[in-house]
Amino acid sequence: MNRFEEELKNNNFICSECPKCKHLVWPPSDFCNKCLGDVVWRPVSKKAILVEVSKKDEKQFCIGEFENSIRVFGILEGRTNIIPGQSITLKHCRYENTPIFEFQTD
């Protein structure tokens, strides 16, 4: 299990960042995908912007964007009248053979 998965298991969403390029590397990697230099790991902000939203069996899910960079799918709880561009918050994350993200509307 790599560091990203280990931290996610503990409800910590971290990502690799290139100190030289000041660039978040997504998907997380041991090397920067711009300069191929070494990366450092840091927490990702819990605040996100809603990119798109849909429903399956009345359950809402979405794509959220963190720090103008990382976009992930996740469950979206809260208001159902939310539209892209509005802010959402990462409520919980975990790892169960795959990353699982749960957002909450603000």
Binding site for another protein (CB under 8 A): 4, 26-28, 51-56, 61, 63, 71-74, 83-84, 96, 98-101
Under a CB-based contact definition with an 8 Å cutoff, are residues 86 and 49 in contact?
Answer: yes
Q: Identify the burial level of 85 via C-beta atoms within 10 angstroms of its C-beta, where 0-12 means exposed, 13-18 middle and 19 or more buried.
A: exposed
Residue 103 CB, nearest distance to another protein (Å)? 11
**CA-to-CA distance for 101 and 106, rounded, in angstroms?**
16
Tokens describing residue 66 = 């963190």
Please, what is the minimum distance in Å from the beta carbon of residue 65 to another protein? 8
Taking the complex as a whole, the smallest distance from the CB of residue 22 to another protein amounts, in Å, to 19
**Considering beta carbons, is residue 21 or 51 the nearer one to another protein?**
51
